[in-house]
Chain A
Amino acid sequence: MSSEQPAPPHPKRQGNYYWRVFASGLGFATFGIAGLFAGLLGIPILRLCIRDQARQQAMVRHGVQRFFRLFIRMIKGLGVLTWSVDNPAPLTRQGTLIVANHPSLLDVVFLVSLIPNACCIVKQSLFRNPFMRGALTAAGYIGNDDPMQMLDAAARNLAQGSPVVMFPEGTRTEPDQRPQFGRGAANLSVRAQCPITPVFIRCEPTTLTRNESWYQVPYKPMHYTIIVGPACPVIDAAQGTAPVSILVRRQQARVMEFFTRMVDSGRP
């Protein structure tokens, strides 16, 4: 129960360090190859066999969820990481707007593995990545280059019962910083009148941040903690005369308050 000491600058490497470097590389390779095969073979075949687009999309989303779950189990089996999920139930509800911080590259993999039929909002540049384009398009994921189109498409998904996953930090957070969100999620929440389910992701020790390469594995296997917080209610857009942009700012303050509470209570 003693309070944690700050980590020394170069903690002693634990376990099979070089094995973990190899296993991480294997993980990345698996991911890339699976993406490529899905894009080049799996999805074109699916398109030929299943004509109905809604069914196509549902199957791809199901496939992505299954693959991500398999993937994190595989890298856990290889000794690269461990994880725990606190209160995953709200993630499986229909039409939930799920908003998470973004400390590492694997956040979306963990989240989507827990969410059936998830629709993700992803960086537009990923749609230009040949390894990912096919799967992203077939899964009906949404790019973020045109903000209004993004909001419309996301609101449509919520109305149809698909959970929508957003990382409003836009880019991976630097370690030891409180998450700073853009207002995209607050905008979607107010315009679609949908409460926000906040998810706080923590990875100890930090890894795969923006400034690290895949082979820079931490001194010990990392542990992911995924905490699903209480729903953040949405401001009622029907009452009052304030412009939407003002309501969005109020909603943004609310979301940040919810997150700050989660971050602070989740700290050692």
Chain B
Amino acid sequence: MHADNIHTSNRTHLTGMTSNNLNSQEEILATLRGILEEMFETDPDAVVPAALLYDDLDIDSIDAVDLIIRLKDLTGRKVSPEEFKAVRTVGDVITAIEKLLRN
């Protein structure tokens, strides 16, 4: 019960943090670390721009669709899966988020 509460409060904290601070690549990376840990239990230290989503972080194609839905909520923009076709690395995701926010 106790552990559950901690978990929930943690997540609220993360979501609260993510909605605003997406101004730089570093901030986007930090946000992404939180999201990947929350969704896929990915070790935040492994989330570096060069990391491959599938080979290094064990994020498969179904996870990617869930991630895209999450990014849609995060950025408030429409995200088409097409834009994510070429995404292979964490760096690619960051670039894609930047592009979304600019449009």
Please give the residue numbers on chain A whose beta carbons come within 8 Å of chain B beta carbons, in ascending order.
Answer: 147-148, 151, 182-184, 187, 241, 243-246, 248-249
Q: Are B39 and A147 in contact (CB under 8 A)?
A: no
Is there a chain A Cβ closer than 8 Å to B66's Cβ?
Answer: yes
Known: A245-B66, A248-B62. 12 other contacts (CB 8 A): A147-B61, A147-B65, A182-B60, A183-B60, A183-B63, A187-B62, A243-B39, A243-B66, A245-B63, A246-B39, A246-B41, A249-B41
B8 touches A148 (CB 8 A): no
CA–CA, A41 and B66, complex, Å: 42
Within the assembled complex, what's the spacing in Å between the Cα atoms of A151 and B38? 23
| A241-B40 contact given A147-B61, A183-B60, A184-B62, CB 8 Å threshold | no
**Interface class of chain A by DSSP:** helix
Interface of chain B, main secondary structure: helix
Contact B61 A245 (CB under 8 A): no
Q: How many residues of chain B get a CB closer than 8 Å to chain A's CBs? A: 12
B62 touches A148 (CB 8 A): yes
CA of A215 to CA of B98, assembled, Å: 55
Partner of B8 from the list A151, A183, A241, A249 (CB cut-off 8 Å) is A241
Interface digits, B55-90 against A, CB 8 Å rule (1 contact, 0 not)?
Answer: 000001111011000000000000000000000000
Give the contacting residue for A244; candidates B41, B60, B66; CB below 8 A.
B66
Which chain A residue lies CB-closest to B39? A245
A213 to chain B, nearest CB (A): 30
29 residue pairs A–B, Cβ–Cβ below 8 Å: A147-B60, A147-B61, A147-B62, A147-B65, A148-B62, A148-B65, A151-B62, A182-B60, A183-B60, A183-B62, A183-B63, A184-B62, A187-B62, A241-B4, A241-B8, A243-B38, A243-B39, A243-B66, A244-B66, A245-B39, A245-B40, A245-B63, A245-B66, A246-B39, A246-B40, A246-B41, A248-B62, A249-B40, A249-B41
